[in-house]
């Protein structure tokens, strides 16, 4: 879908490179520009104290199919090489902090003056305006903690829990791609590029939008509670006799209560005044959860699944990551793709978030090694062999 789209990615870690990775899957020519030594996320395992890993799937996921270039943009020659690439680009994608970009002449005003058709995609922790615009912010800080999302997930009276690796980053990656695609569509009408701004903070406010909308309207929102103390006891987790957890959901209205009672052979509770209406179930949540725990706990997962499906209840098994990675339905939905490696082998990895049936929408190859394509890309942009050798000799390229 994006064949012919030229993207220059001047970014590190995950959120912005994740957006570049999605566009690379969809056919864009993404040139990843790294500093000397490479993107720090290449050292993910070493940073968490794990050594000896030959493959870094965290880096591979977000950088597959890109061409890799190393430039030292602190040197004029390295910066000039980057600008030459940007002058020919459709999209410039960066998560460098605004102050650093401004000092280097790589801010959006400067680059749009050079290339008026450029889509300048900025990802920051906290946005481009305000007192914290230049504050460094990763997803566990800006997306998870500062946004209020961590507090929403914390059990009432409990301690905060940490966000899983790059969860907020990848939500932001999807948002960046959506913004870039919108700006590209606008450009078909106006002929002009524009600044596209995403921040981890704003993305998190939208991701938690239902709770935040309630907060804005009523000045408070419900806390996350233990299973026996929830306001919607039918939206809960239950364990079967064979130690399998399921996630049960109830639709709005009262229609699912008699269905659940029939599925669990608790018909005598359908008209019970304690539970027949949502208000009663909320008031008597602990008592009801105890009864449902007993009913679920007396049946195997297979029995529960058949009974709930017969009543067309909404539910799902709580899978481990190992189980989810081989889930036949996830595979059928395109959630698992194969990425070709340099040695001809393939590895499984998560697919991009959208599928285009009939199109080549999967990984186009492995992530680049550090500086793997520096020479060929510089040659593409008009540098002679002598000039390239000089850039390498000075350290402006590697």
Q: Dihedral through CA 304, CA 309, CA 312, CA 318, nearest 10?
A: 60
Tell me the residue range of the domain where 256 lies: 235-321
Indicate if 81 and 172 belong to the same structural domain. yes
φ, ψ for residue 352 (rounded to 5)?
Answer: -60, 160
| Sheet of strand 119-124: strand arrangement | 67-70, 29-34, 6-10, 91-94, 119-124, 194-199
Cα–Cα distance for residue pair 253/236, rounded to 1 Å: 17
Q: Are 356 and 312 in the same domain?
A: no
Residues 280 and 368 in one domain: no
Q: How many CB atoms lie within 10 A of CB 65?
A: 24
Domain end (from 296, 321, 346): 321
Structure tokens at 272: 């019970």
169 and 128 part of one domain: yes
1 within some domain: no
Whether residue 11 is found in the same domain as residue 153: yes
On whether both 344 and 307 belong to a single domain, the answer is no
Q: Quick one: 280 and 373 in the same domain?
A: no
**Mean pLDDT in consecutive groups of 10 residues from the start of the chain, 398 residues:** 97 98 98 96 85 88 98 97 98 96 96 98 97 94 97 91 95 98 98 98 98 96 89 95 96 93 97 95 96 97 97 97 97 95 93 95 96 98 98 98
The continuous run of DSSP H or E covering 38 comes out as none
Residue that finishes a domain, picked among 288, 321, 354: 321
Residues 75 and 119 in one domain: yes
pLDDT value at position 33?
98
Please tell me whether residues 122 and 249 are part of one structural domain: no
Domains held by the chain: number: 2
Q: Is residue 69 located within the same domain as residue 146?
A: yes
């005044």: which residue's tokens? 273
- Do residues 71 and 78 lie in contact, with contact meaning Cβ atoms separated by under 8 Å? yes
Domain CATH code at residue 311: 3.30.1540.10
Which CATH number fits the domain that encloses residue 97? 3.40.50.10540
* Residue spans of alpha helices (H) in the chain: 15-25, 44-47, 57-63, 76-87, 98-103, 108-114, 149-153, 167-190, 200-207, 209-218, 256-263, 278-283, 285-297, 301-310, 321-325, 328-332, 374-380, 385-394
What 8-state DSSP symbol labels residue 299? S
Q: Is residue 227 included in any domain, yes or no?
A: no
């Amino acid at each position: 879908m994006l064949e012919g789209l030229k993207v220059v990615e001047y970014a590190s870690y995950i959120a912005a490179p994740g957006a570049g990775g999605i566009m690379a899957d969809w056919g864009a020519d993404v040139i990843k520009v790294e500093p000397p030594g490479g993107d720090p996320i290449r050292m993910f395992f070493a940073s968490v104290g794990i050594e000896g890993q030959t493959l870094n799937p965290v880096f591979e996921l977000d950088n597959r199919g890109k061409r890799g270039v190393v430039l030292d943009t602190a040197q004029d020659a390295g910066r000039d090489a980057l600008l030459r690439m940007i002058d020919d680009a459709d999209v410039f994608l960066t998560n460098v902090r605004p102050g650093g970009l401004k000092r280097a002449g790589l801010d959006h005003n400067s680059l749009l003056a050079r290339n008026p058709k450029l889509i300048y995609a900025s990802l920051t922790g906290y946005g481009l305006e305000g007192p914290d615009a230049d504050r460094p912010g990763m997803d566990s800080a800006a997306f998870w903690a500062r946004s209020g999302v961590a507090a929403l997930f914390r059990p009432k009276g409990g301690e905060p829990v940490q966000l899983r690796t790059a969860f907020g980053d990848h939500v932001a990656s999807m948002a960046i791609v959506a913004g870039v695609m919108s700006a590209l569509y606008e450009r078909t009408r106006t002929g002009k590029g524009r600044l596209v701004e995403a921040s981890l903070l704003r993305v998190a406010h939208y991701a938690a939008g239902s709770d935040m909308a309630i907060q804005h309207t009523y000045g408070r929102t419900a806390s996350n509670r233990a299973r026996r103390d929830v306001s919607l006891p039918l939206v809960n987790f239950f364990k079967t006799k064979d130690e399998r957890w399921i996630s049960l959901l109830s639709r709005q209205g009262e229609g699912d209560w008699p269905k659940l009672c029939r599925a669990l052979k608790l018909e005598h509770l359908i008209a019970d005044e304690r539970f027949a209406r949502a208000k009663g179930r909320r008031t008597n949540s602990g008592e009801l959860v105890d009864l449902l725990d007993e009913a679920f706990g007396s049946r195997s997962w297979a029995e529960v699944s058949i009974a709930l499906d017969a009543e067309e209840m909404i539910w799902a098994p709580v899978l481990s990551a190992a189980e989810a990675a081989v889930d036949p339905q996830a595979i059928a939905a395109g959630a698992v793709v194969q990425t070709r490696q340099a040695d001809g082998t393939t590895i499984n990895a998560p697919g991009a978030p959208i599928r285009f049936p009939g199109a080549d929408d999967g990984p186009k190859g492995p992530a680049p090694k550090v500086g793997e394509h520096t020479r060929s890309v510089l040659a593409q942009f008009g540098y002679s062999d002598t000039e390239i050798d000089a850039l390498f000799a000075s350290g402006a390229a590697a």
